[in-house]
Amino acid sequence: MISLTSPVETRAHGWPAGAKLAALCAATVVLFATKALLWHGVFLALTLGLYALPGALFLRTGIVRLRPLWIFAAVILLWHLVTADLRAGLVIVMRMMTAVALANLVTMTTRLSDMMGAVRWLLTPFRAFGLRTDLVELAMALVIRFTPVLAEKGRMLALAWRARAVRRLGWRIITPFAVLAIDDAEHVADALRARGGL
C-alpha cells in the first residue's frame, strides 16, 4: 500500500487535521454558493497558487493526481456546448476542479493517522447509539490507501493489454481488474485475521 501524502514537507503538514478539514468544508460551501464565472477563475488560480508555494515538485505531484478529472471536465463541457450553455459548464468544471484540488491538498499535507484521529473525534457522539467507530475508521483508511493502488494496477493492466492486443482497450479488462481487487481484499482480510481481527 502507498500513502497519498506529499513527497515534500510543507508548513501545512504541522497544522491540525481537524482545522484543515473544517477549512475544506467552509471553502466547499463558498464554492457552491458562488455562481460568478470570474470568481471561480480566481478560486482556481488561488488553489494552484497554494500548490505552487512549496515548490515545483509539490505542484507537479498535485497536478498529476488531478489528471483523472480531465475526462469528467471534457464530458461536462461537451454536454453544455451541445445544450448551448457553455458558461454554466465552465462554472461546474472550475468548481469541481477547485473542490477536488483543495481536498487533494488536505490529503497530501495530512498524515493518515492524523486524518483518522479527526474522524474518530467526529464520530465519538455516535458511539452512544452503538456505532463501532473503529470499523468506520478502518474502512476509510483502507479506501484512502487502496485507491491509488487499484488505480496503478488498472494502469498496468491497460499497458499489458496494449502490448499484447491489436484491438483497443475495452470492457474485457473489467474481469481481470475485478479479480485483482478481490485478491487484494482477501490478502487484507487474511492479514487482519492474523492480527486478531475486529
Q: What is the pLDDT of residues 3-34, one digit of tens each?
A: 466 777 888 888 888 899 999 999 999 999 99
Domain limits for position 5: 1-110
Q: Which residues contact 44 (CB under 8 A, 6 or more apart)?
A: 94, 97, 98, 101
* Same domain (yes/no): 5, 83: yes
Tell me, what DSSP letter sits at residue 83? T
Q: Is residue 117 part of a domain?
A: no
pLDDT of residue 2: 40
Could you give the number of structural domains in the chain?
2
pLDDT of residue 3: 46
Answer with the one of 69, 86, 110 that is the final residue of a domain: 110
* Same domain (yes/no): 151, 92: no
* Same domain (yes/no): 100, 140: no
Q: Is residue 168 part of a domain?
A: yes
* Same domain (yes/no): 93, 1: yes
Q: Which of 33-37, 63-67, 155-159 has the highest mean pLDDT?
A: 33-37
* Same domain (yes/no): 131, 90: no
Q: Is residue 121 part of a domain?
A: no
* Same domain (yes/no): 182, 100: no
Cα separations in angstroms, 137 against 22, 83, 107, 126, 152: 18, 43, 15, 13, 24
C-alpha cell at 114: 492524523
What pTM was estimated for this model as a whole?
0.71
Q: What is the pLDDT of residues 97-114, one digit of tens each?
A: 999 999 989 988 888 788
